[in-house]
Amino acid sequence: MAYADATELARVLSIRSPTTAQTAALERKLDAATGEIDKEIDLDADATLTVEDQATLEDVCLRRAAELWWLDTNNMGVLAGDMGATYLPKNSWEKYASELAHVKGQWGLA
């Protein structure tokens, strides 16, 4: 189950009345973002999250899902604008991983 819902993601993306197909796509992006988050934080099944932790997970889920939505509709790695092209970082997940560090349940050995 995703940390956020499709209605909230549609609001973030300024989609006023999503179609059935768009709602299904929004849910896929939320599921993908939740999967990435779960892999990153690696919590035990019986872990208890604080209200602040839950808010962080929802926020990161929405922002990551919005980024995944945007990547489907734009050229990968290049953002074009009036001032020319900007190249995006190859690993866009790292900015989210650092925000989740305080929620992380286990740290692997390197």
Categorize the per-residue pLDDT at 12 as very low, low, confident or very high, splitting at 50, 70 and 90: very high
Count of domains in the chain?
1
Q: Which long-range contacts (CB under 8 A, 24 or more apart) does 42-46 make?
A: 42/104, 42/105, 42/106, 43/103, 43/104, 43/105, 43/106, 44/105, 44/106
Q: Which domain holds residue 38?
A: 6-99
pTM for this model (two decimals): 0.79
3-state secondary structure at position 31: helix
Assigned domain for 55 exists = yes
- Name the helix (H) or strand (E) containing 55: helix 51-73
Assigned domain for 104 exists = no
Assigned domain for 83 exists = yes
Q: What is the per-residue pLDDT for 22?
A: 97
Assigned domain for 48 exists = yes
Higher pLDDT, 78 or 60: 60
